[in-house]
Amino acid sequence: MESPLGSVPAADPAAEPEGFVVVADGGVRIHFLDWSGPERPPGRRGALLIHGLSQTAWVWTPVTRRLRGAASTVALDLRGHGLSDAPTDDPTADYGIAALAGDAVAVAEGSGLLVEPEDRVVLAGHGFGAIVAAAAAAVLGPRCAGLLLVDGGWEDLEQASEVDVEEFLRGLDEPPEVLASMRAFLADRAGFDPATWDIDQQRAARATVVETHAGRVVPATRPHALEACVRTMFAYDPLAVLPAVEAPITALIAADDEVGSRAATLTEVSAARVTAGRGPIAVRAFAHVGHNLMRYLPDEVTAAILAFGAGGGR
């Protein structure tokens, strides 16, 4: 059942998260932001938020400022991103879906969201993070209370984009003028939607780049990690993963393509879940809204998380 927007707590502009690290399999250190505050109420179901490609935990800030008022709230940095480790031993294994899902489970447990056997967590992922969230939800089984796919996680990317992984990788480079300075980079990000640009958006954008001594900026996501994550993204098969998720699933779709193929693909995956004895995927579509729904529609994203019972009892 959809949580009404009127039930979404007001954003807390003064809140600041605490940063922590958990050690996942292989000794990889995964950084996360805990927005829950020092006195997390017992017995309150929590939410683990997973960012998309080349982003960090800070991209969730418009949601976490609202959600923390109702649920224990944690956002992680995927390996190779933000302040998490970027292993180099074997990119195929280090950034494969099993390793990434394992990191999410490690954060859910290490952050205190999953401690007692009866604890449950809502997983929410954006874009590539939705793929990781889906895989983690399948691993967690009944310990996952709900899975929110924020504009991603239900598509075979090569079919959806009609480009192969090599072409996709070639298109990831930012224009030189955008990386010419921090000022140019932030102006570019602000231009996506000036009405929603604020200090939180600026902090989220700054976390994705590193300023060089010469004044230019370079992407903070390690190149080997970015390539490996893209290859994992293209290898993802939603028809193999989503029917295995025991928890209810909701998908939020930003603007569809001209022929509506993204929604059609979601219908196919939802039908596969029903065939597997799971519930269908609940869908909310937002025409003419960009990919970063957390920035443009934070109340709607927060409401969708709360609809799974985040903030309620175990």
Look at residue 169 and tell me if it is in a domain: no
User: To the nearest whole percent, how much of the chain has pLDDT over 70?
Assistant: 94
Number of structural domains (the chain) is 1
pLDDT digits (tens, 9 = 90+) for 222-231: 999 999 999 9
pLDDT at 13 over 90: yes
What is the per-residue pLDDT for 41? 57
* pLDDT for res 235: 97
Q: Is residue 65 part of a domain?
A: yes
Tell me the mean pLDDT in the region 1-7: 66
Q: What is the mean pLDDT of residues 282-287?
A: 93
Residue 204's pLDDT band (cuts 50, 70, 90): very high
Give the torsion sign (CA, 229, 234, 240, 241): positive
pLDDT in tens, 56-79: 999 999 999 999 989 999 999 999
pLDDT of residue 309: 85
Residue 20 lies in a domain: yes
Q: In this model, does residue 255 exceed pLDDT 90?
A: no
Query: Is residue 53 a contact partner of residue 229, using CB atoms and an 8 Å limit?
Result: yes
More confident call, 39 vs 88: 88
In this structure, is residue 91 part of a structural domain? Answer: yes
306: pLDDT strictly greater than 70: yes
Residue 259 has pLDDT above 80, yes or no: no
* Mean per-residue pLDDT of the chain: 93
- Is 95 a residue whose pLDDT tops 60? yes
Mean pLDDT of 241-247: 98
18-23/29-34 β-pairing: antiparallel
pLDDT band at 260 (very low <50, low <70, confident <90, very high): confident
175 found inside a domain: no
List pLDDT tens digits, range 108-117.
999 999 999 8
Give pLDDT, residue 311: 61
In this structure, is residue 102 part of a structural domain?
yes
DSSP letter for each residue of 183-196: HHHHHHHHTT-GGG
* Number of residues that make up the chain: 314
Indicate if the pLDDT at residue 140 is higher than 90.
Answer: yes
Q: How far apart are CA 166 and CA 70, in angstroms?
A: 43
Whether the per-residue pLDDT at 189 is higher than 70: the answer is yes
Taking alpha carbons only, the member of 144, 120, 118 closest to residue 133 is 144
Q: Is residue 248 part of a domain?
A: yes
Greater confidence (102 vs 161) lies with 102
- What is the C-alpha to C-alpha distance for residues 223 and 19, in angstroms, rounded to an integer? 24
Task: Give me the CATH number covering residue 128.
Answer: 3.40.50.1820
> How far is residue 63's CA from residue 127's CA, in Å, rounded to a whole number?
16
Q: Which domain holds residue 58?
A: 5-164+221-306
Residue 314 lies in a domain: no
